[in-house]
Amino acid sequence: MYFFWRSFWDKIWPRACISCACELISAECTLCSTCLDEVLLARMPEQSTLPLLDSLDCWLDFDTRAIQRLMHQLKFGQSPEIALRLGQLYAATHDAPHVDALIPAPLSWRRKWSRGYNQSEWLVRGLSEIWGLPIWDVLNKEHRPPQATLGLEARSASAQGAYRLKKRIPSGARVQLWDDTLTTGATLQAMAETLYHGGALEVHGATLARAD
């Protein structure tokens, strides 16, 4: 019945794939099956690590065209629903982590205001829908120059001290911290440091994509 009504409405208001803009058929949701296959084939072949984090999972390879296109749309194409859909897909294909909550990487108020949304918030919403884990919106970020404009050392210096806890977290908390893309890891490490200072026992990191 659901697909009957969906194909009925699709004829009146056709839906488009959020990645390639082709028309979706009734069984498809947000991404067409070609783009979905490309996403699922772009998994990172090996695990990543970062010194401060208890574990790190970077899901997709940013060096594939399909993922670059999606991440560009996600950040600059006014398409936060990409993050929601990718979060749902990740959670549907991975076991829920043994943590108390999911924490999205914050944007500075200036960046969030100019983009209109924080993609990491939409991403953890998709994860939380499937896993049933709570979301803790506990981090604040000061405005700093965009990381992409900085060299390696400058990125690390810029990330340090940029994050503050805006709410207390329970002492001994175990959390999973989510960002959209891992580059040098400076941002995730700086956020993890803030969470440990605030009393977290375990900070696990995860990102949708990894760029080398």
Q: Output the smallest distance, CB 75 to Zn ion, in A.
A: 18
Least Cα distance to 208 among 122, 150, 136 occurs for 122
**Closest approach of Cβ 35 to Zn ion, in Å?**
3
Nearer to Zn ion, 35 or 190 (CB): 35
Decide: residue 68, CB within 10 A, 0-12 exposed, 13-18 middle, 19+ buried. Answer: middle
Instruction: Give one DSSP letter per residue of 162-194, joined into a string.
Output: -EEESS---TT-EEEEEEEEESSSHHHHHHHHH
Binding mask 33-72 for Zn ion (x = CB under 5 A): --x-------------------------------------
As given in the structure block, the two tokens for residue 7 are 């194909």
The encoded tokens of residue 157 equal 């210096």
| C-alpha span between 176 and 184 (Å, rounded) | 18
Query: How many amino acids of this chain bind Zn ion (CB under 5 A)?
Result: 5
Among the listed residues 19, 88, 176, 183, the single contact to Zn ion using CB under 5 A = 19
Interatomic CA distance for residues 197 and 6, integer angstroms: 49
Strand order through the sheet with 202-210: 55-61, 202-210, 174-182, 101-104
153 Cβ neighbours under 8 A, 6+ residues apart? none
Of 193, 75, 183, residue with least CA distance to 123:
75
Nearer to Zn ion, 18 or 56 (CB): 18
Cβ 69 to Zn ion shortest distance, Å? 9
Task: CB nearer to Zn ion: give 32 or 195.
Answer: 32
Closest to Zn ion by CB, 35 or 103: 35
Is 17 near Zn ion (CB under 5 A)? Answer: yes
Site stretch for Zn ion (CB under 5 A), options 10-18, 43-51, 72-80, 134-142: 10-18
Instruction: Establish if 20 lies at the interface with Zn ion (CB under 5 A).
Output: yes
In the complex with Zn ion, the residue whose CB is nearer, 69 or 144, is 69
32 is a contact residue toward Zn ion (CB under 5 A): yes
Contact region with Zn ion (CB under 5 A), list: 26-34, 55-63, 88-96, 189-197? 26-34
Residues that bind Zn ion (CB under 5 A): 17, 19-20, 32, 35
